[in-house]
Amino acid sequence: MLLFSRGRRVGEPYIELLRRGPFSRLWWASSASSLGDWVTFFATLALASQIGGSTAVLVPLTSRIIPGLLFGSLAGVIADRLDRKWVMVLSDVGRGLVVLWLVAAGDLVQIAVISSILEILTMIRQPAREAAVPTLVDPGDLVRANSFSAAAAYGTAPVGAAVWAGLAALFTALGGWSLIDRGPDLAFVFDSVTFLVSGAIMATIAIPKPTLAGRPGNEPTSAGDWRRPLRDLVEGFAFVTQTRTVRRVVFGMAVALFGGSALLPLGQTFALEVLGGGDTGFGVLITALGVGVGAGMLGVAVFANERTRHDLTYATSLCVTGLAIGLAAFARTVIGASGWLLVAGAGTGFAYVMGFTHLHEVVDDTLRGRTFAALFTLVRTAMLVSFTLAVLVASALDGRLPAPFDNGIRNVFGLSGAVVLGTGLVSLAAIRSGLIRSDLPPHLRRSIKDTSKAFGLIRGNRRDEDYNG
C-alpha cells in the first residue's frame, strides 16, 4: 500500500502557496476571520459566565450549534447560486458589525440571539469559501491548500485564546472607558476589526462565479422562482446521499466527529478524577490533542503529492485516530493519555485534510457549496448529539461493569474510539481495491466526476425549460 511516494524531496517549497496569488489572500483573510471567531468564542463564554454563572456557558455554545442544524443546507444553496466572493465579503462585514452588539448585551437572551446571528453569517461563509478553493489553485496543490486552510481554521484557536487573555489583562490594567466597561467588550471591538480586515482582503480577490449563477433561469423572473432554490436544495441532498464516494466522506467525517467529541464535556473530569492530573491535567490533554491536529494538518502539506490516495489515506487516518482514542481511554497517567491523544490528533488532522481534498476533487462546481454545507450541518449535529450523550452514557455506565470497564468516562472514551475506528474500517472496506493498487484508476475518477456533472446538466435542462416556458 502506497500512501506517499518518494517522487519529490520532503521540504520542497510547498509554502509558495502562501506567498502570492489569490489563494494567498484568501488564506490571510480566512486566518483573520478565524482569529476573530475564536476570540469572540472565548470572550462570549466569559461574558455569559459573568452574567449567569458557570452553567450559562451552554447558552452561547448551543446558540452556535443550533442555527447550523436549521439553516446549514440553505447556506450551500447560497454558495452555489450567488457570487461567492461577495457572499464572503458581506458575511465578514456583517459579523464585524454584529459582534459590536455584544458590547451592549446585558442578559443571556441577547447573547443567544447575537451568537446565533454570528453563527448564521459564519455558516454562510464556510461553504462559499470551500467551494471557491478549487477555482483558485491547481489540482496538484489542493492537498497543500486544504492543509494550510485547516491550520488557519484551527491553529488560530490557541492564538485566539492568548489574544483574549491579553485583552482581558489589558482591560484589568487600564480599566474601562465609555461603553467598554467589561473585559469581554474590548475583545469584541478587536473581533470587529479582524472581521472587517478579512472582508477588505476578500474584496481584492478575483473569484470565479459559480457555474450555476451564470445559467439561464437563475434570474428572478417569475413568482414561481422560489421553487428553484428549493429544487437546488433537494438535488444537493440527493447528490450527497446517492453518490457513494461523497457519502462515505461526508457521513464518515460526521460519525468520526461524533465519536471524538466526547473529550470536550468529559475531559476535565477524566483528567482530574480518573487520571489524578490535578488542575493542569485537562490543559495538558487538550494541548497534546491540539499539537497533534496541527502536526497532522501541516504534515499532509509536506508529504502528500499527486500519487497520494486521498480516500485511502483518509480512511487509514480514521483507523489510527480511533485506535489511539481507545488506548488513551485506558491510560493510567496524564502523560500516557496525552501521548495517545497526540497520535489521535495527528490522525484527525490527516483525515480532515484528505477528506476535504477528496470532496474538492470529485464534486463539480455546481454542487460544491451544497456538498460542504451538508458536511458542516452533519458535523454540527454530530457534535451536539455527542455532547449530550457523552455525559448521560458516562453516568449510566459508571460502576455497572467489572474492572477495567467499571469507570463510565473510560467506557465512553473507549466507545468513542471504537466508533471512529469502525468508521475507518468501513471506509477501508468500501475502497478495498485501493489496498492493492497505488492509484485510483482514471476511469473511476472520471465516473465520479461525471456523476457530479450529470446533476448539474439535469438542473440546467430543467431550468431552461422553466425559463423558456
* pLDDT above 80: residue 6: no
Segment 336-343 mean pLDDT: 90
Write out the three cell numbers for 177: 472607558
Under 8 Å between Cβ of 168 and 46: yes
pLDDT tier at 460, thresholds 50, 70, 90: low
Check residue 329 and give its pLDDT.
87
The backbone torsions φ and ψ at residue 107, rounded to the nearest 5 degrees and listed phi first, read -145, 170
CA proximity to 410, closest of 331, 333, 345, 342: 331
Question: Could you please report the per-residue DSSP string of 335-381?
Answer: HHHHHHHHHHHHHHHHHHHHHHHHHHHHS-HHHHHHHHHHHHHHHHH
Check residue 466 and give its pLDDT.
46
List all residues 6 or more positions away from 168 whose beta carbon is below 8 Å from its beta carbon. Answer: 46, 183, 184, 186, 187
Check residue 324 and give its pLDDT.
92
* pLDDT above 50: residue 346: yes
Residue, of 41 and 467, whose pLDDT is higher: 41
Segment 19-34 mean pLDDT: 86
pLDDT tier at 1, thresholds 50, 70, 90: very low
> Looking at 11-25, 59-73, 105-119, 446-460, which range is the least confident one?
446-460
> At residue 173, what is the residue type?
A
> Do the domains 221-469 and 18-219 match in fold?
yes
In angstroms, the CA 352 to CA 461 distance is 35
C-alpha distances in angstroms, 233 versus 70, 71, 79, 367? 13, 11, 11, 10
List all residues 6 or more positions away from 206 whose beta carbon is below 8 Å from its beta carbon. Answer: 22, 85
Check residue 88 and give its pLDDT.
92
* pLDDT above 50: residue 463: no
Cis preceding linkage at 67, omega within 30: no
Domain residue spans in the chain? 18-219, 221-469
List all residues 6 or more positions away from 251 whose beta carbon is below 8 Å from its beta carbon. Answer: 378
Provide the terminal-to-terminal Cα distance of the chain, rounded to the nearest Å.
54
> Looking at 1-10, 70-79, 308-317, 391-400, which range is the least confident one?
1-10
CA proximity to 14, closest of 141, 120, 167, 184: 141
CA proximity to 256, closest of 425, 4, 435: 425
Residue, of 15 and 44, whose pLDDT is higher: 44
Ordered alpha helix ranges (H), 82-141? 84-98, 108-136
Check residue 343 and give its pLDDT.
92
* pLDDT above 60: residue 217: no
* pLDDT above 80: residue 14: no
Residue, of 250 and 91, whose pLDDT is higher: 91
Under 8 Å between Cβ of 442 and 197: no
Under 8 Å between Cβ of 28 and 151: no
Q: Which architecture characterizes domain 18-219 according to CATH? A: Up-down Bundle (1.20)
Q: How many of the other CB atoms lie within 10 Å of CB of 226?
A: 10
Under 8 Å between Cβ of 399 and 406: yes
In angstroms, the CA 164 to CA 156 distance is 12
pLDDT tier at 91, thresholds 50, 70, 90: very high
pLDDT tier at 3, thresholds 50, 70, 90: very low
* pLDDT above 70: residue 210: yes
Check residue 96 and give its pLDDT.
93
Q: What percent of the chain has pLDDT over 90?
A: 12
pLDDT tier at 90, thresholds 50, 70, 90: very high
Phi-psi region of 300 (alpha: psi -120 to 50; beta: other; left: phi over 0): alpha
- In CATH, what class is 221-469? mainly alpha
Check residue 11 and give its pLDDT.
43
In angstroms, the CA 27 to CA 466 distance is 39
Q: 256-269: string of b/e by CB count within 10 Å (b at 16+)?
A: bbbbbbbbebbbbe
In angstroms, the CA 214 to CA 230 distance is 18
Task: Compute the Cα dihedral for 342, 348, 351, 352 and give only its sign.
Answer: negative
The backbone torsions φ and ψ at residue 180, rounded to the nearest 5 degrees and listed phi first, read -90, 85
User: For 134-193, what is each residue's pLDDT tens digit?
Assistant: 888 887 778 888 888 887 887 787 788 788 888 888 888 877 676 777 878 888 999 999
Check residue 4 and give its pLDDT.
41
Q: What percent of the chain has pLDDT over 70?
A: 79
Under 8 Å between Cβ of 296 and 350: yes
- How many Å separate Cα 22 from the centre of its chain? 22
Ordered alpha helix ranges (H), 137-226? 142-174, 183-202
User: For 286-319, what is each residue's pLDDT tens digit?
Assistant: 788 878 888 888 787 777 666 667 778 888 888 9
In angstroms, the CA 145 to CA 414 distance is 33
In angstroms, the CA 98 to CA 114 distance is 7
Q: How many of the other CB atoms lie within 10 Å of CB of 400?
A: 10
Tally of helices (H runs) and strands (E runs) in the chain: 15, 0
Q: Indicate the DSSP class of residue 177.
A: B
CA proximity to 287, closest of 248, 360, 338, 229: 338
Rounded-to-10 torsion of CA 295, 356, 116, 69: -130
Segment 317-341 mean pLDDT: 90
Taking all residues of the chain, what is their mean pLDDT, rounded to a whole number? 77
User: For 273-291, what is each residue's pLDDT tens digit?
Assistant: 888 877 677 778 878 887 8
In angstroms, the CA 20 to CA 18 distance is 6
> At residue 421, what is the residue type?
L
User: For 396-435, what is each residue's pLDDT tens digit?
Assistant: 887 777 767 778 888 888 888 898 898 889 888 877 654 4
In angstroms, the CA 23 to CA 126 distance is 15
